[in-house]
Structure 1
Amino acid sequence: MFMRIDHVGIACHDLEERIAFFERVFDLTVVAREINEEQGVKEAMLHIADGQGGGSYIQLLEPLGPDTPVGKFLAKRGEGVHHVAFGVPDVVQAMEKIGDSGVRLLDKTPRHGSLNSSIAFLHPKDVGGVLTELVQAAERQPESTSNTTNADS
């Protein structure tokens, strides 16, 4: 089901400062920036490598406010790994299979993700305490991607 690690999401207080660090220390390049009002974040995707089914990235996340999911995460845990995202060939099929196994889904249907992907989150309490994201790359994106829940549970 999983094709690759799509990205690791890292929560930070200052997006520009973190970008400069990853560019300087790891020689990574920002390939996309986005403000996602729906998820309450300002983000940057830094390219690591290409592989089967798409690329791998570091996703830096700065909250748009303290009451957003990433804002609450930072207040509780500080800067660091927020979530791990796995690339899947079909996000809807992956959601169905994982949901049938008893893992709770935070999304009932896929929603818009970085780089025009289609995404869905799994409940961290059912995945060993790790907020887990499923990512279907844009070129394989289904027709409809509407959000129905919030990933701060």
Structure 2
Amino acid sequence: MFLRIDHIGIACRDLEEQISLFSDTFDLTVVAREVNEEQGVKEAMLHISDGEGGGSYIQLLEPLTEDSPVGKFLAKRGEGVHHVAFGVQDVTDAMGKISERGVRLLDERPRHGSMDSRIAFLHPKDVGGMLTELVQAARR
């Protein structure tokens, strides 16, 4: 079902500072920046590599407000890994199969994600405590 690890989402307080850290330390390149009002974040996608199933990235997330999901995460846990995202061929199909296997979905239908992808989140309590995202990359 999973094609690759699409990205690791990292919550941070200062997006520009973290972009510098990952760019300077690991030679990663920013390939996209977005403000996602629906999710309450400013974000940057830094490219790691490409594989048969698509690219892999680090996604840096700075909250727009303290009461956004990432803002609450930072207040409770501090900076660090927020979620893991797996690339799938068809997010709607993957959601159905995963739901049939007893995993709760946080999204009833796919929504707009980074770089024009379609995404959905799984309930962390049903996936070993890890917030898990499904990503269907945009066709390019």
| TM-score of the aligned structures, taking structure 1 as reference length | 0.90
Partner Cα distance (1:5, 1:22) in 2: 18
1:61 corresponds to = 61
* Aligned-partner residue type, residue 120 of structure 1: A
Alignment of 1:1-153 (within 5 A): 1-139=1-139
* Cα RMSD, aligned residues only: 0.8
Partner Cα distance (2:38, 2:28) in 1: 27
More strand by share: 2
Deviations 1:41-99 (A, max 9, x none): 00000000001221000000000010000000000000000000000000000000000
Runs (5+) with no aligned partner, structure 1: 141-153
Partner Cα distance (1:108, 1:10) in 2: 24
Deviations 1:95-131 (A, max 9, x none): 0000000100000100000010000000001000000
Runs (5+) with no aligned partner, structure 2: none
Runs of 4 or more consecutive aligned structure 1 residues displaced over 2 Å after TM superposition: none
Partner Cα distance (1:69, 1:9) in 2: 13
Partner Cα distance (1:125, 1:42) in 2: 26
* Aligned-partner residue type, residue 111 of structure 1: R
| TM-score of the aligned structures, taking structure 2 as reference length | 0.99
Partner Cα distance (1:110, 1:30) in 2: 25
* Aligned-partner residue type, residue 71 of structure 2: G
Partner Cα distance (2:69, 2:52) in 1: 31
SS in 2 for 1:139: coil
